[in-house]
């Protein structure tokens, strides 16, 4: 049986997560800031469809990107050098999460439900959730959002309306995190897209050990809006 979270009941041990589906750990609970931040500290994230109960996951292995392992392809380097764009942080978090929640080709719905959007907007207001935005010709062309906790960043979703726009945002994010001493970006589950950028899978036990080193780093939550970078980024 999958444990049901009720009220303030704690998450079960990560080792009790199911192998199939990979990482399903618990059901229920809520999406309050307290519950979400507790989950991230433990390496757990919510992922469920509209109309379903909240499902909590901790897959094994875990996909991560270490900031110094970012891979920039020749085509992406060219986009970084040659395209006219502006990268902003936390200027339109709501716009980014709404764009990420739009159904993708071949998918009937989205896991970023109105309930999820409201929960992460609250984390954004508290200084924990952040957006990285690529703007072209005054329009939001792509971006990503996630949660920063200590010296760890937890990527949630990304979107692109223009080719390479989400990758441009990711490169800016990684370079910012590297400069500020962040040690790991959690990518949750493996995708070929993330692997092409340098992300790789590591055992959950190693992920958990690394996370414990990073989440208690003395860094107060804050808005990243004043950190906006503009123009081109050297490849």
User: 125 with 219, same domain?
Assistant: yes
CA distances from 190 to 89, 105, 120, 186, 200 (A): 25, 19, 23, 11, 8
Residues 31, 116: contact at Cβ < 8 Å? yes
Split into its structural domains, the chain has a count of 2
Q: Is residue 234 part of a domain?
A: no
Q: Is residue 135 part of a domain?
A: yes
User: 159 with 46, same domain?
Assistant: no
User: Mean pLDDT lowest for which of 76-85, 86-95, 107-116?
Assistant: 107-116
Which CATH number characterizes residue 200's domain? 3.40.630.70
User: 46 with 89, same domain?
Assistant: no
- 22-36 pLDDT, tens digit each: 999 999 999 999 999
User: 34 with 134, same domain?
Assistant: no
* Distance from C-alpha of 116 to C-alpha of 133, rounded to nearest angstrom: 20
Tell me the residue range of the domain where 192 lies. 63-227
User: 51 with 110, same domain?
Assistant: no
Residue 111 pLDDT grade (very low, low, confident, very high; cuts 50, 70, 90)? confident
- 34-44 pLDDT, tens digit each: 999 999 999 99
Q: Is residue 75 part of a domain?
A: yes
pLDDT value for 106: 55
Q: Is residue 34 part of a domain?
A: yes
């Amino acid at each position: 049986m999958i444990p049901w979270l009720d009220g303030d009941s704690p998450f079960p041990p990560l080792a009790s997560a199911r192998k199939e589906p990979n990482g399903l750990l618990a059901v229920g609970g809520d999406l309050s800031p307290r519950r979400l931040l507790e989950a991230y500290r433990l390496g757990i994230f919510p992922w469920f469809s509209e109309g379903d109960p909240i499902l909590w996951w901790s897959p094994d292995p875990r996909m991560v990107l270490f900031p110094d392992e970012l891979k920039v392809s020749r085509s992406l380097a060219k986009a970084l050098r040659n395209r006219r764009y502006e990268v902003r942080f936390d200027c339109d978090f709501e716009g980014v999460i709404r764009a990420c929640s739009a159904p993708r080709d071949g998918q009937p719905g989205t896991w970023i439900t109105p309930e999820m959007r409201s929960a992460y907007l609250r984390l954004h207001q508290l200084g924990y959730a952040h957006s990285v935005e690529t703007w072209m010709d005054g329009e939001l062309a792509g971006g990503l959002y996630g949660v920063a906790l200590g010296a760890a960043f937890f990527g949630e979703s990304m979107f692109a309306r223009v080719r390479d726009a989400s990758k441009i945002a990711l490169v800016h994010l990684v370079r910012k995190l590297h400069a500020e001493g962040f040690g790991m970006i959690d990518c949750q589950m493996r995708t070929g897209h993330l692997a092409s950028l340098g992300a790789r899978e590591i055992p959950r036990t190693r992920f958990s050990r690394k996370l414990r080193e990073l989440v208690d780093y003395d860094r107060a939550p804050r808005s990243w809006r004043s950190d906006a970078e503009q123009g081109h980024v050297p490849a």
